[in-house]
Structure 1
Amino acid sequence: MAKGIFKHVSISSIATAVPIYERALDDEIELLENKKNIDKIKRITGLDKRRIADTKTTSIDLCCCAAKKIMGEMNIDKSKIDAIIFVTQTPDYRIPNCASIVHGKLGLSKECLCYDINHGCSGYIYGLLNAFSLVESGVCKKILLLVGDTLSKVINKKDKSLAIIHGDAGSATIIEYSDELIHSSFILKSQGDMSNSIIIKAGGFRNMSSKYTRIEKKDDEGNIRTDEQLYMNGLKVFNFALQNVPDLVNEVLEFSKLNIKDIDFFAFHQANGIINNGIISKLQIDQTKAPLEVVKQYGNSSCCSIPQVISKAFGGKILRDKRIVMTGFGVGLSLGTCITNFNNTTIFPIIEYDYK
């Protein structure tokens, strides 16, 4: 099992950026047929609005926007960034990796490690684990973690099951060595035999792009997509989350010798209101400690939703001695959770990015 404790690594700042273009459920009359259906979806899922990247805006643009905000406001010396880790499922190019492109855009030192992680809903936890490991081992002292997706680009606008859910966002997080003793616990798990529950079936090298993979098809529920666009088995993902996430959170609490009351805030991946409310209810968490404003106002932002939750809840503040649980679940299918203390951590308000 992937389980570990770190003692001298801190998260010093977080920033999140979203596209300026907002689309509301009320605008989806043609897709959802009538206002009654829209109101029902709002009530059940907690969804209302989402942010959509334009054709020119990519994951790199959103993450760079967040990174520049942190580096400018915090006066970070570029030569002190030892690594860039970029987590995304929607890279600008197949080759080269996003981290190397960002390295050039930010003008960082040649002594900087750069690599990407292809991951979704648990991606922020995977990125943190990689960054914490590099810092605790002594390989790096300061790391720029960039996490973001523009999933709207791989979702068919006529797919009722997904088009109304996913929003786009990018984030930047600075992780660095701390002389102060800070206990951080991680647990990560996988259920790969269910990996086809969230999948883009074509466009990779197993099933390469062709005129046939770009043909639109309608499923039994009336959703329209091609094999090069995102598919999700909603029921399987729902059951996976409800069966596994509460147990995972309880496990990391036990591993850390803590209980629910010791936690100041829970940043869950913002899947939708049905899943998240089910998790919160099972864990008997005070709703004020696990808000759902992000999924309501911005949609499901995939790997970026955890830092986005923190930016929304604490934007404009410096957190001191806040014990936070961060938990991701989804694509893979995967699970990841982390408990850490945010101490002297600067959280920036959510930034609106306009390509123009």
Structure 2
Amino acid sequence: MAKWYIKNVALKGVTGTVPNNPIKSADLPIFTRDEADTFDATVGIKNRYWAEDGVCASDMCVDAAERLIAGLGWEKESIDVLIFASVTGDYKTPPTSGILQYRLGFPSTCFVLDAPMGCCGCMYTINIAGNLLSAGTAKRAILLVGDTAARMGSIHDKSRLPLFGDSGIAMALEYDPTAEDIIVDMKTQGEGYAALMTPHGGYRHPVTPESFIEKDFGNGIIRAPKDALINGMDVFSFAITRPPKSMKEMLEEEKLDKDKDIDYFLIHQANKLIVDRLVKKMKLDPQKVPYNLQEFGNLGGASIPMIMTSEIAEDLQNKPLTLMCSAFGLGLTWGTMVLKTKPMFVLPVNKI
């Protein structure tokens, strides 16, 4: 079992940034007004923020990181680790994390890493950086997670286009011998990779003229091989089976009572249908399951930290909390994390 107990590491702060470009479902040319209303009611995503051309996920992450570091009062020379989790890096090469080290003015001794893990990006970065900090050799880490996922797909694809928003978040981890263990359980089902993928553009299938030829798959799904795709039924089936099983296992193994011991369940905001089904299967108290997809859409790996920023900031700032986080997506990968926090620094979502 890929399960880690990360010792001596605390989450010290979090914030997020979105483009100042809100897009209502009714604004999308692929929808009639009735279709937009139905989408809002069933999928639950009424608004999302899309980056203008030329704005990258790294730009939003820089804004979030600069504000968070200033708010924490950290010297940039003290940052030992920088991890950037995104499937929309600045370039195919070099890694964007190196560019971010330069843009943010971190020291050359800073360990950098790109982690293109999609919707599990937050959990992967915490797991990797947490294990790097745990021994105390490295003391501070800045984790940046974000995507401009909206532009990855076809503008004619009703199955994908309305789901995604763009954002960048920053989290701060620090070596802290008084911190409670961060427990992370990660799993992978690689045979399901084709359910969420971009067929052309890598080295298995480089871009050719064929990559731009659109095909009509019916039901408002029109895309070309260069466009990211979602096999909706496969993803839905995966999301409502594997993640809740993992959450139940975590509760049982760690002897946690979901009603008494967990303050909030932070579930990846894929869509309302999936999150509602997970809440029902797990028999969770709805008051403990914050949603923000109605405002931001599916933010991929930034989804869970953005919930911290937009929905539970006051509690995170003022009292200790026990959080259970569940993420699932590309790979196919999924994970469950138990995170016990002390009062931390949280900044409101910024729009740039």
TM-score (norm 1): 0.96
Indicate the residue corresponding to 1:143 in structure 2: 141
Structure 2 partner of 1:12:
12
Q: How far, CA to CA, are the matches of 1:50 and 1:188 in structure 2?
A: 28
Match of 2:255 in 1: 257
> What amino acid sits opposite 1:20 in the alignment?
N
Cα deviation code 1:293-351 (max 9, x no counterpart)? x2111110111111111111133661421001111101111101110111021121111
1:296-315 matched pairs, under 5 angstroms: 296-315=294-313
Greater CA drift, 316-325 or 65-74: 316-325
Deviates more, 1:109-118 or 1:137-146: 137-146
CA distance, structure 1, for counterparts of residue 268 and residue 116 of structure 2: 17
Given candidates 150, 153, 165, the residue that maps to 1:152 is 150
Query: CA–CA distance in 1 between the matches of 2:177 and 2:41?
Result: 47
Tell me, in whole angstroms, the C-alpha distance in 1 between the residues paired with 2:206 and 2:219: 26
Paired residue secondary structure (1:318) = helix
Distance 1:339 1:81 in 2: 25
Residue matched to 1:118:
116
Asked whether 1:235 is paired with 2:209, we answer no
Distance 2:302 2:12 in 1: 17
1:69 to 52, 67, 85: 67
Amino acid at match of 1:268: I
Distance 2:347 2:180 in 1: 22
* Contact persistence 2:30–2:158 (CA under 8 A): yes
Aligned mates of 1:90, 1:14 — CA distance in 2: 21
**More moved, 208-217 vs 301-310:** 208-217
For residue 95 of structure 1, give the secondary structure of its aligned residue in structure 2.
Answer: coil
Q: What residue number does 2:284 align with? A: 285
Deviation of residue 6 (structure 1)?
2.1
The 2-side partners of 1:252 and 1:346 are apart by: 27
Three-state SS of the structure 2 residue aligned to 1:188 is strand
Is this contact kept in 2: 1:314–1:349, CA < 8 A? Answer: no
Could you report, residue by residue, the CA deviation over 1:35-92 in whole angstroms, capped at 9, with x for unpaired residues?
A: 2222221111111011101101101001111000101122111111001011000000
Give the match for residue 343 of structure 2. Answer: 344
> Hey, what's the Cα distance between the residues in 2 that align with 1:218 and 1:140?
52
Q: Per the alignment, in what secondary structure is the counterpart of residue 23 of structure 1?
A: strand
C-alpha distance in 1 between matches for 2:64 and 2:228: 26
Distance 2:53 2:253 in 1: 45
Give the counterpart letter for 1:197 in structure 2.
A
Task: Tell me the alpha carbon deviations over residues 143-199 of structure 1, each in whole angstroms, 9 at most, x when there is no partner.
Answer: 111111111121111111111111001111011111214122110001110110001
SS in 2 for 1:260: coil
Mean Cα displacement is larger for which, 173-182 or 16-25?
173-182
Partner of 1:86: 84
Residue aligning to 1:269? 268
Q: Secondary structure at the match of 2:351?
A: strand
1:50 correspondence with 2:48? yes
Q: What percent of counterpart residues are identical?
A: 29
Structure 1 counterpart SS, 2:162: coil
* 2:26 is aligned with 1:26: yes
1:95-126 CA distances to partner (integer Å, 9 max, x unpaired)?
Answer: 11111101001111121111111110111111
Contact 2:71 2:345 in 1 (8 A): no
The partner residue of 2:172 within 162, 171, 174 is: 174
Residues in 2 aligned to 1:114 and 1:231: alpha-carbon distance in whole angstroms: 30
Residue 352 of structure 1 deviates from its aligned partner by 0.7
Secondary structure of the 1:172 match is strand
Per mean C-alpha deviation after superposition, the further-off stretch among 218-227 and 186-195 is 218-227
In the other structure, the counterpart of 2:182 is: 184
Query: Residues 160 and 183 from structure 1, CA distance in 2 versus in 1: closer, same or farther, beyond 3 angstroms?
Result: same
Whole-Å Cα distance in 2 between the matches of residues 85 and 139 of structure 1? 17
1:104 aligns with 2:115: no
Name the TM-score, length of structure 2 as normaliser.
Answer: 0.97
Distance between the aligned counterparts of 1:217 and 1:139, measured in 2? Answer: 53
Partners of 1:220 and 1:313 lie apart in 2 by: 37
Q: Which amino acid is 2:8 matched to?
A: H
Distance 1:270 1:2 in 2: 23
Shift of 1:94: 1.1
RMSD: 1.2
Aligned length: 350
